[in-house]
Amino acid sequence: MFANTPFSSKERVDYIVTLRSFFPNRPQVWKMNEWKYFFKDIIKNLNEGGGLYLGCNNGARRAEYKDIPEHKKSHWGPLDVGEMFRPYLVPASKLQRVKVNTLYIPYDDVVKLGETK
Q: What pLDDT, in 10s, does the model give residues 57-79?
A: 665 666 666 676 777 777 777 77
Cα 79 from Cα 94, distance rounded (Å): 24
Q: What pLDDT, in 10s, does the model give residues 79-98?
A: 788 788 889 988 877 766 65
pTM summary value = 0.75
Q: What pLDDT, in 10s, does the model give residues 96-116?
A: 665 667 889 999 999 999 987
Amino acid found at 12: R
Domain ranges of the chain: 13-115
Are 113 and 58 spatial neighbours (Cβ–Cβ below 8 Å)?
Answer: no
Residue 106 half-sphere exposure toward CB, CA atoms < 13 A: 3
